[in-house]
Structure 1
Amino acid sequence: MGINDESDIDANLQIGPTSLGMVRLYVEGGGIELPMDFEPEEAEEIAEELRVAAQQARALADGAKSKKK
């Protein structure tokens, strides 16, 4: 499965700090529990990557809407 493949799998995502000063992304779905811990600096890099991806997705969606008109 790639980044652009759709899936019918439902999952929950929780994000928060741990008592050890890490940032945890906790993904649960399809019978799997996946805790991922990151140093705060790594979490900030991930947040920036998410922000950039959201901008790119918005631009793609806006471009697709423009072509339909």
Structure 2
Amino acid sequence: MGINTEREIEANMQIGPTDNAMVRIFVESQGVEVPMDFDPEEAEEIAEEIRAAAAQARAMAEGGGKRR
């Protein structure tokens, strides 16, 4: 399974600060809960990666084709 493999799985995701000054990404799907804690610097790096991926996806959509 890779980043381009589509799946018919629904999941819920929550993102927020914890009492321990961490940023938690909490994913729940089909009874499985995955809490992932990051220090603020790591969370900012992840946010930058998400923004970069969104910009690439937007460019691909506007270009009318898939990029491999």
For structure 1, the 5+ residue unaligned runs are none
The gaps in structure 2 that reach 5 residues or longer are none
| TM-score of the two chains, using structure 2 as the length reference | 0.91
Q: How many equivalent pairs are there?
A: 65
1:31 CA displacement: 2.0
Partner of 1:55: 55
Query: Going by fraction, where is helix more abundant, 1 or 2?
Result: 1
**Runs of 4+, deviation exceeding 2 Å:** none
Partners of 1:54 and 1:5 in 2: CA distance: 18
- CA distance in 1 between counterparts of 2:5 and 2:59 reads 19
Counterpart for residue 7 of structure 1: 7
State the partner residue of 1:21: 21
> Aligned-pair distance for 1:30?
2.1
Please say which structure displays the higher CA radius of gyration.
Answer: 1
Give the alignment's Cα RMSD to 1 decimal.
1.0
Query: Which TM-score applies when normalising by structure 1?
Result: 0.90
The equivalent residue for 1:32 is 32
